[in-house]
Amino acid sequence: MFYREVGDFKTTYAADSQTFPIAFDRVRYYFVLIVAVLLVPFLIDDYWSNAVFVPLLVWSVAAIGLNILTGYCGQISLGTGGFMAVGAYACYKLSTEFPDLNIVFCILISGAITAAVGMLFGLPSLRIKGFYLAVATLAAQFFLVWLFNKVPWFYNYSASGQITMPERTIFGLAVTGPNVEPWAQYLICLAFVFGLAWAARNLTRGSLGRQWMAIRDMDIAAEIIGVDPLRAKLSAFAVSSFYVGVAGALYFSVYLGAVEVTEAFGINQSFLVLFMIIIGGLGSIFGSLVGAAFMVLLPIVLRNILTRGLNWDTALATHVEFMVVGCLIMFFLIAEPHGLAQLWNIAKQKLRLWPFPH
């Protein structure tokens, strides 16, 4: 009934190769966009923005970034936290050294700096694969965190080693710092997520994305048909790190406002992003978004139900939350090893035939 191609005629090549070829899907996509842009900003308060939407959007960017590298190009990375730290510290240094620089450019340049660092740490991928590459990127994670702890220049010689984001504005409106309006904070993150997800979707559909996927599926075969592994792998590292860097910059500047590298960008964050894309679905932009939503929102929902809905003791609720989230992760991976995106695809196929399956 839903998801029918019937009656949805394509008369141009552009229309034929669009991202959402089915009319129903397209309408749904525009509906979500309209709700996100025109409705949500008027409804959210500090809590919804700071605890729900902003972390969700920031982690979505990071998940898309890692999915480009791991899901599309097949290079495992455990350095996500370290690369996010590069983005955050770049953003801090840029915004304190050049106070007049617009925050949007500041975040984009931070992404570019992270891309350069990511390419540097991506070099070993030309020689090593799989678990060995994971270990090499793990080294990047520990090295980068150690570096930002060790060299006081990165945190402007502050006594505590913390970095604090000064207030920055767009068109006279604060988007970072304590006086930020919740909707402004939300909208800037949404703008980045939309722009980056759109770019990622189109990159992965184009020639570069096909090269990445060829490398992922079998690198020797890809090389034989003319894919340059050096270019493909390093470009994947660069693009992925750019995304992760932007996520790190947003995480620091818009979301938290002050961070400490060991806690905010530790190995746990690398695993968190990896879990997001594994649960959401490798090689899927939609999967990155769903995976981020799953990992960010589920604990919050559970905690609120247990402590506010059922009035449980907070410590007990936290322990139960760990167990339930763990069990749900296992359940979803057993139910569909290819992640929530695949589950959604299956549902879509079923809906196409429904209610006449034969």
Partner 1 sequence: MKIARMTICALMLAAFSAPAAYADLVLPWLEYRTGPYSPSGIPTADGFEDYLTLINERDGGVGGELIRVVKCETGYNTAKGVECYEQTKGEGALVYQPLSTGITYQLIPKVTADQIPLHSMGYGRTAAADGTVFEYVFNFPANYWDGASIAVNHILDLNGGNIEGKKISLVYHNSAYGKEPIRTLEKLAEKHGYTLSLYPVDAPGQEQKSQWLDIRREQPDYVLLWGWGVMNAAAVTEAANIRFPMENFIGVWWSGSENDVLPVGDRAHGYKALALHNVGSDFPLFDDLRKHVIDTGKFAGDGTSVGSVLYNRGMYGALLAVEAIRTAQEIHGVSDITPQMMRDGMEALVITEEKMAELGLPNFGPSFAVSCENHGGPGTGWVSQWDAHNQTWSIISDLITPDKEIIDGLIAEASAQYAEEQNIARRCQ
Binding site for partner 1 (CB under 8 A): 45-48, 50-52, 55, 96, 149, 159-162, 164, 166-167, 177-179, 256-260, 262-264, 266, 300-301, 303-305, 307-310, 314-315, 317-319
Q: How far is the CB of 44 from partner 1 (least distance, A)?
A: 11
Which residue's CB is nearer to partner 1, number 232 or number 302? 302
Contact 81, 247 (CB under 8 A): no
Conformational region of residue 283, where left means phi above 0, alpha means psi within -120 to 50, and beta covers everything else: left
In this structure, are residues 131 and 261 in contact, taking their beta carbons and an 8 Å threshold?
A: no
Q: How far is the CB of 352 from partner 1 (least distance, A)?
A: 29
The distance of closest approach from Cβ of residue 186 to partner 1 in the complex, given in angstroms and rounded to an integer, is: 13
- Which lies closer to partner 1 via its Cβ, residue 1 or residue 301? 301
Whichever of 63 and 256 has its CB closer to partner 1, that residue is 256
247 in Cβ contact with 104 (< 8 Å): no
Please report how close the Cβ of residue 59 comes to partner 1 at its closest, in angstroms.
Answer: 11
Least distance in angstroms from the C-beta of 99 to partner 1: 10
SS3 160: coil
What is the rounded distance in angstroms from the CA atom of residue 92 to the CA atom of residue 156? Answer: 9
Question: Based on CB atoms, which residue is closest to partner 1, 303 or 348?
Answer: 303
What one-character-per-residue DSSP string does 68-117 give? IIIIIT------HHHHHHHHHHHHHHHHHH-TTS-HHHHHHHHHHHHHHH
Shortest Å distance, C-beta 70 to partner 1: 24
Tell the smallest beta-carbon distance from residue 50 to partner 1 (Å): 5
* Cβ proximity to partner 1, 276 vs 341, nearer residue: 276
Cα–Cα distance between 273 and 295 in angstroms, integer? 9
Question: For partner 1, which is the closer residue by CB, 116 or 320?
Answer: 320
Written in H, E and C, the secondary structure of 214-273 is HHHHCHHHHHHCCCCHHHHHHHHHHHHHHHHHHHHHHHHHHHHCEECHHHHCCHHHHHHH
* Tokens matching residue 327: 């069990």
Cα–Cα distance for residue pair 137/69, rounded to 1 Å: 12
Residue (200 or 261) nearer to partner 1, CB: 261
